[in-house]
Amino acid sequence: MKALLLGLVSFYMLVSSRTEELPEVDNNNNNKALSSLDITKRFDDLAARLNILEQELKMKQETPRIAFSAALVNEGYCGPFNSPTTLVFSNIFINLGNSYNPSTGIFTAFVKGTYYFSFTVFLNSNSKMFTSLMKNKDRIVSVWDNYSPDSNDSGSNTAIVQLEVGDNVYVKLYEERQIFEDGTGYTSFCGFLLFPS
Ligand SMILES: *[C@@H]1O[C@H](CO)[C@@H](O)[C@H](O)[C@H]1NC(C)=O
Protein backbone atom coordinates (compact mmCIF):
# COMPACT_ATOMS: atom_id res chain seq x y z
CA MET A 1 0.00 0.00 0.00
CA LYS A 2 2.80 2.39 1.03
CA ALA A 3 4.79 1.46 -2.07
CA LEU A 4 1.75 2.06 -4.25
CA LEU A 5 1.15 5.50 -2.70
CA LEU A 6 4.80 6.45 -3.07
CA GLY A 7 4.67 5.29 -6.66
CA LEU A 8 1.61 7.43 -7.36
CA VAL A 9 3.18 10.46 -5.67
CA SER A 10 6.40 10.01 -7.65
CA PHE A 11 4.40 9.58 -10.85
CA TYR A 12 2.41 12.74 -10.13
CA MET A 13 5.61 14.70 -9.36
CA LEU A 14 7.22 13.47 -12.55
CA VAL A 15 4.20 14.34 -14.65
CA SER A 16 3.84 17.81 -13.10
CA SER A 17 7.57 18.52 -13.48
CA ARG A 18 7.40 17.61 -17.15
CA THR A 19 4.24 19.43 -18.17
CA GLU A 20 6.19 22.45 -19.38
CA GLU A 21 7.99 20.14 -21.78
CA LEU A 22 4.76 19.01 -23.41
CA PRO A 23 4.16 20.67 -26.79
CA GLU A 24 1.83 23.65 -26.67
CA VAL A 25 -1.55 23.15 -28.23
CA ASP A 26 -1.44 25.18 -31.43
CA ASN A 27 -4.65 27.04 -32.13
CA ASN A 28 -3.84 27.07 -35.84
CA ASN A 29 -3.76 23.30 -35.73
CA ASN A 30 -0.26 23.23 -37.18
CA ASN A 31 0.86 20.89 -34.44
CA LYS A 32 -0.44 17.40 -34.67
CA ALA A 33 -1.83 15.76 -31.55
CA LEU A 34 0.49 13.31 -29.82
CA SER A 35 0.47 10.01 -31.67
CA SER A 36 -0.17 6.84 -29.70
CA LEU A 37 3.47 5.96 -30.37
CA ASP A 38 4.57 9.18 -28.61
CA ILE A 39 2.30 8.44 -25.67
CA THR A 40 3.65 4.92 -25.34
CA LYS A 41 7.19 6.27 -25.45
CA ARG A 42 6.43 8.85 -22.79
CA PHE A 43 4.73 6.28 -20.61
CA ASP A 44 7.72 3.90 -20.90
CA ASP A 45 10.05 6.77 -20.04
CA LEU A 46 8.00 7.66 -16.96
CA ALA A 47 7.83 4.03 -15.90
CA ALA A 48 11.61 3.70 -16.18
CA ARG A 49 12.18 6.87 -14.15
CA LEU A 50 9.66 5.76 -11.54
CA ASN A 51 11.54 2.49 -11.21
CA ILE A 52 14.83 4.32 -10.60
CA LEU A 53 13.21 6.58 -7.98
CA GLU A 54 11.71 3.58 -6.20
CA GLN A 55 15.10 1.87 -6.03
CA GLU A 56 16.72 5.02 -4.63
CA LEU A 57 13.98 5.46 -2.05
CA LYS A 58 14.29 1.83 -0.97
CA MET A 59 18.05 2.16 -0.50
CA LYS A 60 17.58 5.30 1.61
CA GLN A 61 14.90 3.72 3.77
CA GLU A 62 16.68 0.45 4.48
CA THR A 63 18.19 0.46 7.97
CA PRO A 64 21.64 -1.13 8.01
CA ARG A 65 21.60 -4.37 10.01
CA ILE A 66 23.86 -3.61 12.97
CA ALA A 67 23.38 -5.63 16.18
CA PHE A 68 25.69 -7.46 18.54
CA SER A 69 25.37 -9.43 21.75
CA ALA A 70 28.24 -11.05 23.64
CA ALA A 71 29.28 -12.41 27.04
CA LEU A 72 32.57 -12.53 28.89
CA VAL A 73 34.35 -15.89 28.71
CA ASN A 74 36.45 -15.47 31.83
CA GLU A 75 37.00 -18.58 33.86
CA GLY A 76 36.44 -16.92 37.21
CA TYR A 77 37.41 -13.44 38.38
CA CYS A 78 38.30 -10.60 36.07
CA GLY A 79 40.40 -8.08 37.99
CA PRO A 80 41.37 -6.38 40.13
CA PHE A 81 43.86 -4.65 37.80
CA ASN A 82 45.91 -1.60 38.70
CA SER A 83 44.63 0.46 35.76
CA PRO A 84 41.23 0.80 34.03
CA THR A 85 40.61 -2.10 31.64
CA THR A 86 38.26 -2.53 28.68
CA LEU A 87 36.17 -5.67 29.16
CA VAL A 88 36.50 -8.05 26.21
CA PHE A 89 33.24 -9.93 25.67
CA SER A 90 34.41 -12.62 23.29
CA ASN A 91 31.58 -15.16 23.54
CA ILE A 92 29.60 -13.79 20.58
CA PHE A 93 25.90 -14.59 20.22
CA ILE A 94 25.40 -12.35 17.21
CA ASN A 95 27.47 -9.68 15.47
CA LEU A 96 25.54 -8.37 12.46
CA GLY A 97 27.50 -5.72 10.59
CA ASN A 98 30.72 -6.58 12.52
CA SER A 99 30.77 -3.22 14.29
CA TYR A 100 31.73 -4.96 17.54
CA ASN A 101 35.31 -6.25 17.76
CA PRO A 102 35.42 -9.42 19.90
CA SER A 103 39.20 -9.21 20.37
CA THR A 104 39.22 -5.65 21.77
CA GLY A 105 35.71 -5.37 23.27
CA ILE A 106 35.17 -2.12 21.35
CA PHE A 107 32.10 -1.26 19.27
CA THR A 108 32.90 1.21 16.47
CA ALA A 109 30.14 3.06 14.59
CA PHE A 110 30.48 2.67 10.81
CA VAL A 111 27.09 4.34 10.37
CA LYS A 112 26.06 7.68 11.91
CA GLY A 113 22.90 7.25 13.95
CA THR A 114 21.07 6.58 17.19
CA TYR A 115 22.19 3.42 19.01
CA TYR A 116 20.99 1.38 22.00
CA PHE A 117 23.53 -0.23 24.39
CA SER A 118 23.10 -2.31 27.51
CA PHE A 119 25.47 -4.20 29.81
CA THR A 120 25.19 -6.42 32.86
CA VAL A 121 27.95 -7.31 35.32
CA PHE A 122 28.15 -9.75 38.20
CA LEU A 123 30.41 -10.27 41.21
CA ASN A 124 30.18 -13.17 43.63
CA SER A 125 32.78 -12.06 46.16
CA ASN A 126 32.21 -9.22 48.59
CA SER A 127 34.92 -7.16 46.99
CA LYS A 128 34.20 -4.00 44.95
CA MET A 129 32.65 -3.73 41.49
CA PHE A 130 32.56 -0.58 39.37
CA THR A 131 32.04 -0.53 35.60
CA SER A 132 30.93 2.08 33.07
CA LEU A 133 29.60 2.16 29.56
CA MET A 134 31.96 4.51 27.72
CA LYS A 135 31.60 6.60 24.57
CA ASN A 136 35.16 7.44 23.51
CA LYS A 137 36.62 8.97 26.71
CA ASP A 138 33.25 9.84 28.24
CA ARG A 139 31.37 7.85 30.85
CA ILE A 140 27.73 7.35 29.89
CA VAL A 141 26.16 5.07 32.53
CA SER A 142 27.64 2.91 35.30
CA VAL A 143 27.11 -0.01 37.65
CA TRP A 144 28.50 0.12 41.18
CA ASP A 145 28.57 -2.30 44.10
CA ASN A 146 30.59 -1.90 47.24
CA TYR A 147 31.51 -4.15 50.17
CA SER A 148 28.33 -5.44 51.66
CA PRO A 149 27.20 -8.30 53.89
CA ASP A 150 25.88 -10.21 50.86
CA SER A 151 28.31 -11.50 48.27
CA ASN A 152 26.50 -12.16 44.99
CA ASP A 153 25.46 -8.98 43.26
CA SER A 154 24.49 -8.17 39.70
CA GLY A 155 23.71 -4.85 38.07
CA SER A 156 22.95 -3.50 34.65
CA ASN A 157 22.51 -0.22 32.86
CA THR A 158 21.30 0.98 29.46
CA ALA A 159 21.74 4.07 27.31
CA ILE A 160 20.61 5.39 23.94
CA VAL A 161 23.25 7.57 22.32
CA GLN A 162 23.90 9.42 19.10
CA LEU A 163 27.11 8.24 17.40
CA GLU A 164 29.19 9.75 14.64
CA VAL A 165 31.17 7.50 12.29
CA GLY A 166 34.28 6.37 14.19
CA ASP A 167 32.88 6.78 17.72
CA ASN A 168 33.82 3.94 20.08
CA VAL A 169 31.60 2.38 22.75
CA TYR A 170 32.87 -0.15 25.32
CA VAL A 171 32.57 -1.26 28.94
CA LYS A 172 35.32 -0.18 31.31
CA LEU A 173 36.28 -1.97 34.52
CA TYR A 174 37.87 0.53 36.91
CA GLU A 175 41.19 -0.06 38.65
CA GLU A 176 41.09 -2.21 41.80
CA ARG A 177 37.59 -3.44 40.90
CA GLN A 178 36.46 -6.92 40.06
CA ILE A 179 33.75 -8.88 38.26
CA PHE A 180 33.06 -12.58 37.82
CA GLU A 181 32.10 -14.86 34.95
CA ASP A 182 32.23 -18.66 34.69
CA GLY A 183 30.53 -19.31 31.35
CA THR A 184 27.02 -18.96 32.75
CA GLY A 185 26.61 -15.57 31.06
CA TYR A 186 26.37 -13.35 34.17
CA THR A 187 28.35 -10.58 32.48
CA SER A 188 27.31 -9.42 29.01
CA PHE A 189 27.18 -6.48 26.60
CA CYS A 190 24.85 -5.79 23.67
CA GLY A 191 23.88 -3.00 21.32
CA PHE A 192 22.17 -2.17 18.06
CA LEU A 193 21.42 0.64 15.63
CA LEU A 194 17.95 2.10 16.19
CA PHE A 195 17.90 4.73 13.44
CA PRO A 196 20.53 5.78 10.92
CA SER A 197 20.79 9.55 10.50
C1 LIG B 1 27.09 -17.03 44.32
O2 LIG B 1 27.30 -17.26 42.94
C3 LIG B 1 27.97 -18.47 42.67
C4 LIG B 1 28.13 -18.54 41.20
O5 LIG B 1 29.09 -17.69 40.80
C6 LIG B 1 27.19 -19.63 43.19
O7 LIG B 1 27.87 -20.82 42.94
C8 LIG B 1 26.94 -19.46 44.68
O9 LIG B 1 26.09 -20.48 45.13
C10 LIG B 1 26.29 -18.12 44.94
N11 LIG B 1 26.19 -17.91 46.37
C12 LIG B 1 25.04 -17.52 46.92
C13 LIG B 1 25.12 -17.29 48.41
O14 LIG B 1 24.03 -17.38 46.30
Nearest atom (ligand 1) to Cα of 152:
1
Q: pLDDT tens digit string along 62-99? A: 779 999 999 999 778 999 999 999 999 999 999 999 99
CA of 171 to the centre of ligand 1 (A): 24
CA of 130 to the centre of ligand 1 (A): 19
CA of 79 to the centre of ligand 1 (A): 18
67-196 CATH, one of 3.40.720.10, 1.10.150.120, 3.40.50.300, 2.60.120.40: 2.60.120.40
Residue nearest to atom 3 of ligand 1 (CA): 124
CA of 124 to the centre of ligand 1 (A): 6
Q: pLDDT tens digit string along 103-140? A: 999 999 999 999 999 999 999 887 899 999 999 999 99
Cα angle 190-135-196, degrees, rounded to a multiple of 5? 65
pTM: 0.71
Asked if residue 152 has its Cβ within 6 Å of ligand 1, the reply is: yes
CATH 2.60.120.40 in the chain: give the residue spans. Answer: 67-196
